[in-house]
Structure 1
Amino acid sequence: MKKKVTAVFDIGRTNKKFFLFDSDFQEVYREYSRFDEITDEDGYPTENLEALEKWAKEVFDRMMDSPEFDIRALNFSCYGASLVHIDKNGKALTPLYNYMKPLKTEVFDAFYDKYGPENELSRSTGSQKLGMLNTGMHLFWLKYARPEVYKKIKYSLHLPQYLSYLFTGIAVSEFTSIGCHTMLWDYEKKDYHDWVFKEGINEKLPPIASSRETTPVNYKGKNIQMGVGVHDSSSALLPYIRSIKKPFLLISTGTWSISINPFNKGMLTMEDIGNGCLFNMRIDSSPVKVSTLFLGNEYKLQIKELSAHFKVQEDYHRTVKFNQDTFFEINKDFEHMFKWASIVSENMPEVTKIPYDKFEHAYHQLMLELVLLQVKSIRSAIGNENIKRLYIDGGFSDNEVYVQLLSRYLDNMKISTTDSSLGSALGAAIVISDVTLEPKFLKKNYALKKHVPSIIK
């Protein structure tokens, strides 16, 4: 007899993943893929949307014919800050613009001249001034920079909802995507911000559907419950929220490291805004305080440079284990040595200087500097809340040097890691189920591992 399963597409900037989970949310199948980037009309690198669509349809069609699995439901977890604009025929009108695509100063000037001041907008929308990372700013830019395209837009869909649309033909908006540093949502009004209505952008956004909602779709002759999709950081939070009762902070690591505090009370303060904090949104539309760090991206760029400098393979860093003596040697006369490529910090030098003759020493130096930034981000997210538990998921949960250094600088917290490969996929499966999670869910399903600091002071 075939095993009944829920399917999830978990789409990150780098890795595209497909999972199957059984009724106990145990992973029973996974498949990964990567695609080379293409460029948009301005020559800026971006996601190959056509390749992503083709892969998703091919994988799902193939698994629907599996002799082993009986797919009963499908949902989607994707990175945020990305919109697909479709016309009246449901065809994409533009490339999937990269959220790092720079905007000209006059775009910001025009926006804040009409709707500022900046700090108040950031406070009410829970959004920092982040350019295309604010999908509201993306739409504002598109309206005036590409008016002929903007006029043709029937709906603008965040990426999770666009993938859902590919399978259901139903266009919806969804809370976790709307509320993720988009500058679209007013957390005090609990509705789109006034500027959205004044610009008429609300007319390009389809009706809001609950993250829990599913639509029965006849797919290849079989009735499948299709979810509306969920933002990956919000999805990653869900299994923790449903299975842990005591206050905690979750760090969801990957291209971005997101420090997520679901126990923050009230609106963001001006101090929070100054510290780079913002709001994500839970599936019930309530705010979640987060602090973001471009950790994975910076790590990737610096590892490439270090590997070339020491003439080692680019995956050599994966073999490096934490070494306490190396840490003490670096920390004794510590100084900042790395100039970041995608992060700005007050202590970074004008140029990178590597005085070490071993890759392992330079690697420990890199990780120490990155972890110091991570600790600052964590403390910003915690604020004044009494939180003593820290969970790490995503790619850095497997990085022994990262975890040991965090345990050294956050020795007042209980630190646990979870299975990096699952990321936000389980949350996307759980959100469309009615299952109540038991307290030991993370241990059973996420390979929960508690860490005791090994650094002797």
Structure 2
Amino acid sequence: MKKTVTAVFDIGKTNKKFFLFDSEFQEVYREYIQFDEITDEDGHPTEDLSALRNWLKTVFDRILKTEKYEIKAINFSSYGASLVHLDENRDVIFPLYNYTKSIPQDIIDSFYDKYGPEEDFHQKTGSSSSGMLNAGMQLYWLKNTKPEVFKKIRYSLHLPQYLSFVFTGIPLSEYTSIGCHTSLWDFEKKDYHDWVYAENLDQMLPPIVSTETSINMNYNGKRIKIGVGIHDSSAALLPYVRSLKKQFILISTGTWSIALNPFVERTLSKKDVAGDCINYMRINGKPVKSARLFLGNEYSIQVKKLTEHYGVDKDYHKTIMFEPETHYELVKEFEKMFHWESIDDPDMPAETNLPYHSFDHAYHQLMMELVLLQVESIKSAKGKMTIEKLFVDGGFSDNDVYIHLLSHHFRTMELRTTDSSLGSALGAAICISDTQLNSKFLKKNYSMKKHIPFIAK
């Protein structure tokens, strides 16, 4: 007898994942793949959208034919700040521009000259000036630098909604993708910001539907409920919001480490904006006060350098456990030694200088410095609120040194980690189900672990 399942594609910058969950949201199947990046017309690396689309269709069609599973629903979670443009025939206008691509300063200046002042704009839109990371700015940049491409656009889809479009052919928008630092949304008036209408961008942004919307379709002869997709950080947050009664902060870690506080009732203050806080959005349109840190990206850069410098295996860093004695040695006369390549830190040295003979010592130093940045990020998201629970999911939930150091800095908070690979995918599955979650859900489904701070000398 076939097992009834919900399918989820969870598309990260590096890993593309496919999951099947049973009716209890237990994972029953998974597969991963990675694609080599291609380059856009300017030579900047970007997502191979054709390879991704082909993989989506191939995997799903193969699973549909299996005798083992009966797919009743499918949904999609993915990273944000990425728009897929369709022409009037609903064909993709390539390429998908990478959010790491830079925008000329004169374009950014002209935008704020028109629609600033900058601080007020960021308060209203819950964003910071982050170039292509503001998806709205991508459209403004296209309109002003590549008008021949811009003229072809009939619809601009956020990446999670494009993944859904691959299966439904219906272009849609939803709150979590619009609300993730796009600079498109005015959180005060709960609508697109005035600048979107002034530039006529609203005409190429598809109709907004609830994130919980699903489309019942006949797909390859099967009746399937197809979700509209969800931004990965909002997806990771959803199971916690649905199953916990007490207030908490979730640190969703990966390429970006994002401290998410879903319990704010107001728009960002000037102090929040100055502290580099932004808003994400819950599936009901409510703001989520957040602080972003390019932690995973910087970690990868620095670990690669350390691996080469100390001549260890490229996966050696994954084996290192927290060593209290090493921490004690380093903390006695602690000073910052790393120069970051993708994080701005006014206190970092002009260049990296490591006096250590062993990779393990240098690695502990690296993690101590990165966690100091993480601590400030969490404090920004928390503000003056009294919050006692801290959850970590994503890649760093498996990093023993990171977790020990974090629990040390937040000794008065209850710190728990959850299974590192399921957060966004499970959230996407829950989003299109009618299931009510209770307080035991996280413990049962997320392999949750409680962490006790170590005793410092």
TM-score band (shorter)?
A: over 0.9
Matched, 1:22 2:22: yes
Look up the match of 2:160.
160
Query: Secondary structure in 2 aligned to 1:143?
Result: helix
Give the deviation of 1:286 after TM superposition: 0.6
Give the deviation of 1:20 after TM superposition: 0.3
Look up the match of 1:110.
110
* CA distance in 2: counterparts of 1:329 and 1:423, whole angstroms: 36
Asked if the contact 1:263/1:385 (under 8 Å) is kept, the reply is no
Query: Secondary structure in 2 aligned to 1:52?
Result: helix
Look up the match of 1:184.
184
Asked if the contact 1:122/1:183 (under 8 Å) is kept, the reply is yes
Look up the match of 2:138.
138
Look up the match of 1:234.
234
Alignment of 1:160-309 (within 5 A): 160-309=160-309
Supply the AA of the counterpart residue of 2:275: N
Asked if the contact 2:328/2:456 (under 8 Å) is kept, the reply is no
Look up the match of 1:90.
90
CA distances 1:48-83 after superposition (whole Å, capped 9, x unpaired): 111111111111011111111111100000000000
Give the deviation of 1:421 after TM superposition: 1.1
Give the deviation of 1:455 after TM superposition: 3.4
Give the deviation of 1:156 after TM superposition: 0.1
* CA distance in 2: counterparts of 1:26 and 1:184, whole angstroms: 36
* CA distance in 1: counterparts of 2:37 and 2:372, whole angstroms: 32
| TM-score normalised by the chain length of structure 2 | 0.99
Asked if the contact 2:388/2:414 (under 8 Å) is kept, the reply is yes
Supply the AA of the counterpart residue of 1:358: S
Supply the AA of the counterpart residue of 2:289: K
Query: Secondary structure in 2 aligned to 1:424?
Result: helix
Asked if the contact 1:215/1:225 (under 8 Å) is kept, the reply is yes
Supply the AA of the counterpart residue of 2:113: D
Look up the match of 2:440.
440
* CA distance in 2: counterparts of 1:129 and 1:313, whole angstroms: 39
* CA distance in 1: counterparts of 2:209 and 2:267, whole angstroms: 24
Query: Secondary structure in 2 aligned to 1:165?
Result: helix
Asked if the contact 1:212/1:432 (under 8 Å) is kept, the reply is yes
Alignment of 1:351-362 (within 5 A): 351-362=351-362
* CA distance in 1: counterparts of 2:145 and 2:100, whole angstroms: 17
Alignment of 1:28-47 (within 5 A): 28-47=28-47
Supply the AA of the counterpart residue of 1:134: N
Look up the match of 1:424.
424
Supply the AA of the counterpart residue of 1:28: V
Query: Secondary structure in 2 aligned to 1:368?
Result: helix
Give the deviation of 1:218 after TM superposition: 1.0
Supply the AA of the counterpart residue of 2:177: S
* CA distance in 2: counterparts of 1:238 and 1:302, whole angstroms: 32
Moved more, 260-269 or 159-168: 260-269
CA distances 1:173-199 after superposition (whole Å, capped 9, x unpaired): 110000110000000110000000000
Give % identity. 61
In structure 1, stretches of 5+ residues that fail to align are none
* CA distance in 2: counterparts of 1:94 and 1:328, whole angstroms: 53
Q: Which aligned runs of 4 or more in structure 1 are off by greater than 3 angstroms?
A: none
Look up the match of 2:391.
391
Give the deviation of 1:313 after TM superposition: 1.4
* CA distance in 1: counterparts of 2:92 and 2:58, whole angstroms: 19
Supply the AA of the counterpart residue of 1:355: P
Give the deviation of 1:87 after TM superposition: 0.6
Alignment of 1:304-323 (within 5 A): 304-323=304-323
Asked if the contact 1:404/1:455 (under 8 Å) is kept, the reply is no
Look up the match of 1:76.
76
Matched, 1:330 2:327: no
Query: Secondary structure in 1 aligned to 2:62?
Result: helix
* CA distance in 1: counterparts of 2:92 and 2:33, whole angstroms: 22
* CA distance in 2: counterparts of 1:355 and 1:287, whole angstroms: 45
* CA distance in 1: counterparts of 2:158 and 2:284, whole angstroms: 18
Supply the AA of the counterpart residue of 1:281: M
Query: Secondary structure in 1 aligned to 2:241?
Result: helix
CA distances 1:422-457 after superposition (whole Å, capped 9, x unpaired): 021000000111110011100100101111112334
| TM-score normalised by the chain length of structure 1 | 0.99
CA distances 1:63-113 after superposition (whole Å, capped 9, x unpaired): 111111111100000000000001111211121111010010111111011
Query: Secondary structure in 2 aligned to 1:42?
Result: coil
* CA distance in 1: counterparts of 2:455 and 2:200, whole angstroms: 56
Look up the match of 1:8.
8
Query: Secondary structure in 2 aligned to 1:390?
Result: strand
Query: Secondary structure in 1 aligned to 2:423?
Result: coil
Supply the AA of the counterpart residue of 2:135: T
Look up the match of 1:374.
374
Moved more, 262-271 or 288-297: 262-271
* CA distance in 1: counterparts of 2:11 and 2:273, whole angstroms: 29
Give the deviation of 1:403 after TM superposition: 0.2
Give the deviation of 1:267 after TM superposition: 1.0
Supply the AA of the counterpart residue of 1:156: S
Supply the AA of the counterpart residue of 1:19: F
* CA distance in 2: counterparts of 1:308 and 1:412, whole angstroms: 38
Q: How many residues align?
A: 457
Query: CA-atom RMSD, angstroms?
Result: 0.7
